[in-house]
Amino acid sequence: MKKTPISFEDTETAFVSKTTADLNRAYWLFQILSINWLVQLSPAVFKFALWAHLPIKGIIRATAFRHFCGGESIKDCQKTIESLSKFNIGTILDYSVEGKESEEDFDRSLEQTLSTVLRAKGDSTIPFSVFKPSGFARIALLEKKNSGKLLSIEEQEEYSRFYKRVSTICEAAFNNNVPIYIDAEETWIQDVVDEIATEMMMKFNGKKAIIYNTLQMYRHDRISFLKKSIEHARSNNYFLGVKLVRGAYMEKERARAKLLKYPSPIQDSKEKTDNDYDAALKISFENLDITYICAGTHNENSCLMLIRLMAENNIPNDHEHIWFSQLYGMSDHITFNLAKEKYSTSKYVPYGPITSVLPYLIRRAQENTSVKGQTGRELSLINIEKIRRKNESLGK
């Protein structure tokens, strides 16, 4: 086997953009996130504190928000965009307001996402845009449509407005030459999303991938879905954009399947998810003539596997069809080391009003406690870097 041409152990590169004060703050934050019971309690605590008008916004702003988000508006994110671009890392502005239910909120989401596309236009420091389908319609509506149940006249109109929002944003992405990721969410709305994503790809991906669908490889049906998608793209002459992730809603998916007594769509072990994730990368890579891949992962082995495939097949590190992406505030050791070696690399940078971004922050916090080893890995790398800096200052 060829030598792996990268190391994720280089903490000097990983934290080059962080001052020692930043590192200390991150260390403290990840230590809090490792306290499982505290994180599990946090949704109730935040809800109560907001209801009681306790001054928690300032605390959130100075801690988790500062670490995981770019700011409250696109303008606020400018410093982050510049700081990442200095190290050859692209920003993906992610309007992360979740759980909204009103038409005004959905229009605001559309307006914000359109602004991110316009902000990205012609700017290589913002290589992609992104949106969540549930930002454009009520989950209950998408769920009903997904189940095949007949929609009432009002619901049909509501669904048409959802469809219009998605097609407006995809058209804007195409007209402004800004590729866009469609995030994946719960299985009970995903067929609808897959269908629209495919339609948009057929319409806008004739010359290159502008629209990317997302595949969650914790689902045991996604390898066959990927193969079918590739066949479909081949026979209909369009490029297939795929963002490959493991999936963020595992507990919720399992709980619902149990409650409603249907077989869980989720793999029954982490190992199976890992195997399918790597298999999906491999299959997509073997079809690179028509696929565009985003490896959206903090998993070092999966990144290394893709890197190895690229090296063994003489694919340049910055090949236009292959991107790596991590979430802002997580796994800088992967992002910064990849970017240093000229792999095309980006960070999802969430933004939005603090109270509206809370569900996103809670998910990050819960992920960092429930994902085995993630917080431990962050803490140990920060620690290594702190020691390295101390020794350097002592001339050791």
Q: Which residues bind ligand FAD (CB under 6 A)?
A: 183-184, 214, 216, 218, 245-250, 266-267, 269-270, 273, 296-299, 325-327, 348, 367, 371, 374
Minimum distance of ligand FAD from residue 294's CB (angstroms): 7
105: left (phi over 0), alpha (psi -120 to 50) or beta: alpha
Minimum distance of ligand FAD from residue 370's CB (angstroms): 8
Minimum distance of ligand FAD from residue 394's CB (angstroms): 35
Three-state DSSP at 263 gives: coil
Minimum distance of ligand FAD from residue 246's CB (angstroms): 3
Q: Which is nearer to ligand FAD, 348 or 351 (CB)?
A: 348
Q: Which is nearer to ligand FAD, 13 or 267 (CB)?
A: 267
Q: Which is nearer to ligand FAD, 114 or 305 (CB)?
A: 305
Q: Which is nearer to ligand FAD, 214 or 344 (CB)?
A: 214
Contacts of 167 (CB under 8 A, 6+ apart): 200
Comparing CA positions, the residue from 100, 370, 99 lying closest to residue 251 is: 370
Q: Which is nearer to ligand FAD, 158 or 302 (CB)?
A: 302
Residue 50, number of CB atoms within 10 A of its CB? 13
Contact 90, 336 (CB under 8 A): no
Q: Which is nearer to ligand FAD, 74 or 244 (CB)?
A: 244
Minimum distance of ligand FAD from residue 53's CB (angstroms): 33
Rounded to whole angstroms, how far apart are CA atoms 344 and 323? 5
* Element at 181 (helix H, strand E): strand 180-182
End-to-end Cα distance, the chain: 36
- Amino acid symbol at 237: N
Q: Which is nearer to ligand FAD, 42 or 273 (CB)?
A: 273
Comparing CA positions, the residue from 233, 172, 169 lying closest to residue 201 is: 233
CA distances to 98, 130, 149, 266 from 71, in Å? 16, 17, 40, 34
Minimum distance of ligand FAD from residue 62's CB (angstroms): 24
Minimum distance of ligand FAD from residue 68's CB (angstroms): 12
Residue least distant from ligand FAD (Cβ): 296
Rounded to whole angstroms, how far apart are CA atoms 89 and 339? 6
Minimum distance of ligand FAD from residue 319's CB (angstroms): 18
Minimum distance of ligand FAD from residue 245's CB (angstroms): 4
Say what angle helices 332-340 and 300-312 make with each other, to 10 degrees: 20
Which DSSP string corresponds to 37-93? Answer: HHHHHHHHHHHHHHHTT-S-HHHHIIIIIHHH--BSSTGGGHHHHHHHHTTTEEEEE
* Element at 367 (helix H, strand E): helix 354-370
Residue 368, number of CB atoms within 10 A of its CB? 21
Q: Which is nearer to ligand FAD, 146 or 158 (CB)?
A: 146
Q: Which is nearer to ligand FAD, 158 or 343 (CB)?
A: 343
